[in-house]
Structure 1
């Protein structure tokens, strides 16, 4: 099942595969697997992702602009090229004090007990 319009084995310019929409959050899934997802997200100024607690680790990398990533009430300002790991089971949200684009990678494997 194909979950993206991106062609395999071909380079892509990630900031060009998704566009800003005024007053909106836009997301495009690049890879969707049972072990995790990779999504490109464009967030317009003044918008935010809802505060949540994920059962999985999430890696966010900013690819354009600046973002405020709040993890357990601690604010982190990330600029293009920077990334942060949001640990599983922590309260988090992402705010756009200016518009930005990011890659969100959720890792759903590796939590099995040994």
Structure 2
């Protein structure tokens, strides 16, 4: 695991991942049998195509703006907002502006 995610230290997640022009960056923060936490940055226009996951996933927007579709319903989230995507329901992400998020997935 990367030393950038040192345990027992105060972390400013939004500052720990840069933007990549035309790209997406992901950094795994924690991983265990119970689930994982991943830090992402998306340049404007980037996204994740529609998919499902067998467990709930929580998105915390750290910077910027994203449109998240859950079961076909669109939600626009901005910095400081959070949404929980339920297990086994299709979802997709599209960066309406460049954005950063912390994704927490918990296995049931």
Question: Does the alignment reach a TM-score above 0.5?
Answer: yes
RMSD across aligned positions (CA):
0.8
Structure 1 or 2, whichever has the larger Rg, is: 1
- Displacement of 1:4: 3.0
TM-score by length of 1: 0.91
Size of the aligned set, in residue pairs, is 107
Q: Show structure 1 runs of 4+ deviating over 6 A.
A: none
Deviations 1:44-88 (A, max 9, x none): 001011211100100001010111111011000001110000000
Corresponding residue SS for 2:14: helix
Is residue 66 of structure 1 aligned with residue 101 of structure 2?
no
The gaps in structure 2 that reach 5 residues or longer are none
Residue in 1 that maps onto 2:17 = 18
Aligned pairs for 1:10-49 within 5 A: 10-49=9-48
The gaps in structure 1 that reach 5 residues or longer are none
2:104 and 2:24 map into 1 onto residues whose CA distance is 17
TM-score by length of 2: 0.96
2:35 and 2:49 map into 1 onto residues whose CA distance is 20
